[in-house]
């Protein structure tokens, strides 16, 4: 089973938790896109009905509209029943690094508004410690990007502005700085220090937001609730 098939199976399994009448958050990224496609398929077949969805990015909104998925906004539905989203890296406590697709601000807002945040990943995203396999994306206002680079470097990060001389722009027209801290030992402390920076709009450390993990590996698809022992699926 290749990685794309693992992603598809994980996403389809997560969609099984969607029920009629729900407000559903639609995550951004390649794995979450499989969930969007599956929701659209179930709506067309009549196996699912009476849902409204909140997209985590403009790209996802366009995909959902193209597939005929009914959309709403946080203004209209400030509480989301369930969100299905991916992650770039996940540890044994279900803390995440997200933002590889550049939608971390809206993803974090939607996650915080969700009663249930289901993360769907393939086995390669499981990690013994965040920062081991993926840098931390940090969204900054363009006015302050150089100042924030210096501040992030003082925290021990190797920093690259995504896109270099032609910087990647988020939906809010901000820059993304990819910050390689290496394996992060003091996760909460780092998150607090990033939150305190005036030019930082959001960062990709998602702490205590995921409630469920659906992971597909060569062994198949497994579901874990918050607090589960993930040692069997996370390699040392």
Residues with catalytic function: 107
Instruction: Name 149's Cβ contacts closer than 8 Å, sequence gap at least 6.
Output: 159, 161, 177
* Residues linked to residue 222 through DSSP beta bridges, in sequence order: 215
85 close to 25: Cβ distance less than 8 angstroms: yes
Task: For residue 68, give the nearest of 94, 90, 36, 97 by alpha carbon.
Answer: 36
DSSP label of 16: T
SS3 category, 170 = coil
* Residue 216 exposed, middle or buried by CB count within 10 Å (0-12, 13-18, 19+): buried
Instruction: Name 123's Cβ contacts closer than 8 Å, sequence gap at least 6.
Output: 6, 215, 216, 217, 218, 233
Q: Enter the tokens of residue 87.
A: 């992650």
Cα–Cα distance list, 176 to 32, 118, 201, 223, 236 (Å): 21, 25, 10, 32, 30
Number of H helices, E strands in the chain: 6, 13
Task: For residue 90, give the nearest of 177, 211, 219, 220 by alpha carbon.
Answer: 211
Q: Enter the tokens of residue 95.
A: 């803390």
């Amino acid at each position: 089973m290749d990685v794309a098939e693992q992603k598809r199976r994980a996403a389809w399994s997560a969609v099984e938790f969607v029920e009629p009448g729900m407000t559903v958050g639609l995550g951004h990224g390649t794995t979450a896109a499989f969930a969007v496609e599956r929701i659209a398929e179930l709506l067309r077949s009549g196996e699912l009905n009476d849902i409204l969805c909140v997209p985590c990015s403009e790209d996802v909104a366009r995909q959902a509209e193209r597939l005929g998925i009914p959309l709403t906004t946080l203004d209209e539905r400030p509480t989301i029943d369930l969100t299905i989203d991916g992650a770039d890296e996940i540890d044994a406590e279900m803390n995440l690094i997200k933002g590889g697709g550049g939608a971390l601000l809206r993803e974090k807002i939607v996650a915080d508004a969700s009663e249930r945040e289901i993360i769907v990943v393939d086995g390669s995203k499981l990690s013994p410690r965040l920062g081991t396999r993926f840098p931390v994306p940090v969204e900054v206002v363009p006015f302050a990007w150089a100042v924030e680079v210096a501040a992030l470097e003082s925290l021990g990060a190797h920093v690259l502005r995504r896109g270099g001389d032609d910087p990647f722009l988020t939906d809010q027209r901000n820059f993304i700085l990819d910050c390689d801290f290496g394996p992060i030992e003091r996760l909460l402390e780092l998150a607090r220090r990033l939150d305190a920076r005036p030019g930082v709009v959001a960062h990709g450390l998602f702490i205590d937001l995921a409630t469920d993990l659906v992971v597909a590996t060569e062994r198949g698809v497994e579901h874990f609730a918050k607090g589960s022992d993930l040692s069997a699926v996370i390699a040392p």
